[in-house]
Amino acid sequence: MELEALHEIHSEVRALGAQIVVITPELERYTRALHKKLNLSFDILTDLHLKVAEQFRLVFTLPDYLRELYKSFGSTLDRFNDEPEYRLPIPARYVIDKGSIIRAADLNADYTIRPEPSETLRQLRTLGGTAAD
């Protein structure tokens, strides 16, 4: 759902002179299928073993009891992410300016809450003149 919602704002993001990338620990064979299925116009980047998410300090380890529950649903991160330790990033969206400074950060420890794309657009607009130059 989140990727579809980002897809809906992508043309407006481009019109503001900005770009979107999605970073996920999922392996390329899954991102390729997902990208195709959703017909996305931005890239999904594979952050193998969460190296980049670690630098943004977003990584946590699923507790054992949750690991077992997900496995019972058929969600095995060893397979999707080559992540036998069952680590994941918390949902996070950043707006980064041309000088590599973070200008907006939407984070939540609750994975059922995701940053609103309309809010991301608003944040990009507040970068104002710097967005277009």
Q: Which of 11, 21, 82, 85 binds another protein (CB under 8 A)?
A: 21
Q: Does residue 19 bind another protein (CB under 8 A)?
A: yes
Q: Which of 11, 45, 82, 122 binds another protein (CB under 8 A)?
A: 45
Residue 66: CB minimum distance to another protein, A: 5
Contacts with another protein by CB under 8 A: the residue count is: 82
- Label the pairing between strands 87-89 and 59-61: antiparallel
Q: Is 46 left (phi over 0), alpha (psi -120 to 50) or beta?
A: beta
Q: Considering only residues 80-99, where is the footprint of another protein by CB under 8 A?
A: 80-81, 88-98
